[in-house]
């Protein structure tokens, strides 16, 4: 591993670019596969590494993030790595305190309650000062990967982050956050704009640090109806793609493929396909054929096996993967789950999923 002084320019040559080729719509010999939350609690070695550490302290340690990012790749022939981090580092960069409460999950000590609370947020964020630890983790991991597979950087999308900042944690209804959209539309847009600007700088910084693709997680899209999504989510999703690309050009950085994953936003698939992203991620509640029909030929699709399918016996996982590949087609497609891995999943079943994607897609491509 290298010290942080080494320049990001000296990265090892990439040996397996299948994921990047698929993302750009180029032909691939096999369908690439990775899993959301592939670095996670379902791995005993992850639990061991994380045992003594506070969650966000782990996120702030480039060395630990690097180790956790690499763990799944030591076990499975995945086609991409995704940096170990959390979407809530962005609200932290805005000055909010978030703690990880065992059994409850991430919790904001002082969520936004009134419009006036927006004044407490940093209005100008220096992402290198506030989130430099993520950039260091990316650079270190990119070197430590030794070119094995590409490294994906990510961020939460504005509406998803806003909902956490107002709810103060997870919520089944998002009623507090949604009430802002109805009661305080101007203040909501002000907050979403602030978030979009920080996210843009954050994503550009990740590419400068060595990220080779970017995923934007609009995990709470499903709480919005089509109209609210059109008003409060989609414009910022579009803006981020456009702003990131123009800043990458300005700074002579690589134009990396971008993925949008808006969970449960079926009603917006057509719009998402034209939002400026090379890849549209899908959750498991949409039919592959339906998704292709809605998104057209110019984007790559990613997804969308029900994560709970991994509880099935291994042969059954193989059958489900085969069916999924036949439905999506093996090209312009990146295999993934429709959401992240769950902590009680058997790593061997994750391995069976990855191997099935490779085996069946190669077989389909040959015949």
Q: Are strands 105-108 and 98-101 parallel, antiparallel or unpaired?
A: antiparallel
> What are the DSSP E strand ranges found in the chain?
81-82, 98-101, 105-108, 151-156, 213-218, 258-262, 279-281, 300-305, 333-337
Token pair, residue 193, equals 């704009």
3-state DSSP call for residue 317? helix
- Decide: 143 and 11 in contact? Cβ < 8 Å: yes
Catalytic residue among 24, 75, 86, 231: 86
Catalytic residue among 164, 202, 236, 277: 164
Write the burial class of residue 229 (CB in 10 Å: 0-12 exposed, 13-18 middle, 19+ buried).
Answer: buried
Told to judge if 311 belongs to the known catalytic residues of this protein, a careful annotator would answer no
Question: Per the omega criterion (within 30 degrees of 0), is the bond before 304 cis?
Answer: yes
Task: Tell the residue number behind the tokens 């992240």, with chain if given.
Answer: 340
Token pair, residue 19, equals 């994921």
Told to judge if 164 belongs to the known catalytic residues of this protein, a careful annotator would answer yes
Told to judge if 42 belongs to the known catalytic residues of this protein, a careful annotator would answer no
Strand partners of residue 215: 154, 259
Catalytic residue among 17, 21, 42, 50: 50
For 185-194, which contacts have Cβ atoms below 8 Å and span 24 or more sequence positions? 185/231, 187/115, 187/118, 188/162, 188/232, 189/232, 190/118, 191/112, 191/118, 191/121, 191/158, 191/162, 191/165, 192/158, 192/159, 192/162, 192/232, 192/236, 193/236, 194/94, 194/118, 194/121, 194/123
Told to judge if 86 belongs to the known catalytic residues of this protein, a careful annotator would answer yes
Catalytic residue among 21, 37, 60, 238: 37
Told to judge if 342 belongs to the known catalytic residues of this protein, a careful annotator would answer no
Catalytic center residues: 37, 41, 50, 86, 164
């Amino acid at each position: 591993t290298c010290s942080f002084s080494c320049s990001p320019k000296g990265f090892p040559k990439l040996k397996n670019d299948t994921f990047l080729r698929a993302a750009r719509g180029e032909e691939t010999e096999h369908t690439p596969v990775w899993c959301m939350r592939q670095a996670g609690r379902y791995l005993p070695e992850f639990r061991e590494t994380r045992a003594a550490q506070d969650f966000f302290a782990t996120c702030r340690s480039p060395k630990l993030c690097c180790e956790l990012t690499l763990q799944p790749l030591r076990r499975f022939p995945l086609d991409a790595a995704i940096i170990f981090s959390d979407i809530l580092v962005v609200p932290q960069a805005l000055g909010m305190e978030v703690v990880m409460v065992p059994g409850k999950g991430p919790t904001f000590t002082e969520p936004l309650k009134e419009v006036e609370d927006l004044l407490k947020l940093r209005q100008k964020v220096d992402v290198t000062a506030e989130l430099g630890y993520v950039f260091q983790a990316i650079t270190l991991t990119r070197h430590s990967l030794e070119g094995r597979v590409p490294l994906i950087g990510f961020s939460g999308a504005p509406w998803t982050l806003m909902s956490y900042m107002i709810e103060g944690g997870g919520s089944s209804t998002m009623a507090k956050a949604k009430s802002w959209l109805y009661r305080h539309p101007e203040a909501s847009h002000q907050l979403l704009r602030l978030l979009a600007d920080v996210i843009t700088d954050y994503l550009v910084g990740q590419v400068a640090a060595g990220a080779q693709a970017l995923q934007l997680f609009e995990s709470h899209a499903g709480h919005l109806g089509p109209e609210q999504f059109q008003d409060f989510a989609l414009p910022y999703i579009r803006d981020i793609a456009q702003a990131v690309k123009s800043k990458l050009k300005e700074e002579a950085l690589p134009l990396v493929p971008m993925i949008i994953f808006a969970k449960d936003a079926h009603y917006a698939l057509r719009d998402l396909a034209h939002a400026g992203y090379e890849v549209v991620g899908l959750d498991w509640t949409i039919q592959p054929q339906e998704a292709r029909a809605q998104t057209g030929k110019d984007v790559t699709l990613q997804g969308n096996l029900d994560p709970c399918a991994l509880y099935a016996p291994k042969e059954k996982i193989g059958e489900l993967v085969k069916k999924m590949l036949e439905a999506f087609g093996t090209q312009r497609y990146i295999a993934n789950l429709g959401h992240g891995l769950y902590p009680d999943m058997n790593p061997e079943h994750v391995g069976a999923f990855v191997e099935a994607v490779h085996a069946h897609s190669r077989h389909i491509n040959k015949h």
